[in-house]
Amino acid sequence: MANLQVRDIDDRLYEALKRRAELEHRSISQEVVLLIENYLAHDTKGSEQKTLGFLELSGSWIDDRTPEKIVKEIRSSRTKNTSGSKTDELFD
């Protein structure tokens, strides 16, 4: 069996790992091996599919109008807010 040595682990991370191993009645080494096994067994292809599906949904849409025409329509549909007593050129 191969050996693995990990250096420069943050003290807080080591203490958390140690507590978790104690709670599960395992050695730190056993806990690390189990964590790595669980991580590697995780369905990464399913995650990739979900990511690709999300990216597909969040992509651009097809529209015959030019970007300038779309912006013009959006701006023309806006109404001016007159509820404030003071006007602010930045937001008007």
pLDDT of residue 31: 95
Q: Kindly state whether residue 84 falls inside one of the protein's structural domains.
A: no
Is the model's pTM score more than 0.85?
Answer: no
Q: Which residue has the tokens 């806006």?
A: 78
Range of the domain at 13: 8-41
Rounded distance between C-alpha atoms, residue 38 and residue 40, angstroms: 6
Asked whether 13 and 32 are in contact (CB, 8 A), the reply is no
Q: Kindly state whether residue 54 falls inside one of the protein's structural domains.
A: no
Return all residues near 47 (Cβ < 8 A) that are at least 6 apart.
Answer: none
Q: Kindly state whether residue 35 falls inside one of the protein's structural domains.
A: yes
pLDDT of residue 21: 96
Q: What is the DSSP letter of 24?
A: T
Radius of gyration of the chain (CA): 28
Task: Give the count of domains, the chain.
Answer: 1
Q: Kindly state whether residue 22 falls inside one of the protein's structural domains.
A: yes
Q: Kindly state whether residue 34 falls inside one of the protein's structural domains.
A: yes
Asked whether 63 and 73 are in contact (CB, 8 A), the reply is no
pLDDT of residue 84: 61
Per-residue pLDDT of the chain (92 residues; tens, 9 = 90+): 899 898 999 999 999 999 999 999 999 999 999 999 988 887 667 778 888 888 788 766 778 899 899 999 999 998 876 666 666 666 65
